[in-house]
Amino acid sequence: MKQLLLASRNPAKIELYKKILKDLDLQILALSDLNMNNEVDENGLTYEENSAKKALEFFKISGLPTLADDSGIEIAALNNEPGVKTRRWPGYEATDQELIDLAINKIKNIPKGQRQARFRVVISLCLGENQIYSSQFDLPGEITDFVSNKLVAGFPFRSVFWVPQFGKHHSDLNQEQLEQIDHRRKAMEKIREIIIQKI
């Protein structure tokens, strides 16, 4: 069976990608499956730079087709902060709760109706040093100053990200609603076709 490496240590993200790709005849491996403790310095200025760099570096180490992503949340009234530094917004690798608290604190003086935000993800698939394919998708919404009762480990901003289409927080969406708007699923549509054709 052909193999695909997911360049992630985020359990929630790994589970999501395995669900998205479950119908393909692939053995999907995470970094932990190969005992890979290497770190990639995600110092790019864009999501695409970071995701492509991560996919290429782990491809070189493993020799396997490698899928990586970089994602974040951008809050318009905060000059699109935190952006590519989403997980390190306070200046260090923050916990889920720290990020939720920081988002609420940052937007507390921004009037309601001016708290537009978007989730952005770029997914990169590396099949060789000169074979990197990337796909992007954005999900628009708003940041709230109240938190959903449902927290999703590894995806803290979902509990303060309001999806107007459904009138609820992202973390409160049911599976059918999630599949309609999930930005990773949308970005994966193009990448899935490349996986089917080329792996």
What residues are paired with 53 via a beta bridge? none
Q: CA dist 144 to 17, 70, 75, 113, 149, Å?
A: 27, 23, 11, 10, 13
Q: End-to-end distance of the chain based on CA atoms, in angstroms?
A: 11
Given the residues 23, 41, 70, 145, the one annotated as active site: 70
- Residue 186 clears pLDDT 90, i.e. is over it: yes
User: Tens digits of per-residue pLDDT, 60-98?
Assistant: 999 999 999 999 999 999 999 999 999 999 999 999 999
Could you confirm whether 70 is annotated as catalytic?
yes
This prediction has a pTM of: 0.90
Q: CA dist 198 to 10, 61, 133, 142, 195, Å?
A: 26, 20, 11, 38, 5
* Number of compact structural domains in the chain: 1
Sequential DSSP letters for 3-35 = EEEE----HHHHHHHHHHTTTSSEEEEEGGGGT
C-beta of residue 49 within 8 angstroms of C-beta of residue 124: no
- Looking at residue 114, which CATH number applies to its domain? 3.90.950.10
Q: Which domain holds residue 24?
A: 2-198
Using pLDDT thresholds of 50, 70 and 90, give the confidence band for residue 38.
Answer: confident
Instruction: Tell me what pLDDT residue 131 has.
Output: 97
Q: CA dist 76 to 30, 71, 104, 113, 161, Å?
A: 34, 16, 14, 11, 13
Instruction: Tell me what pLDDT residue 65 has.
Output: 98
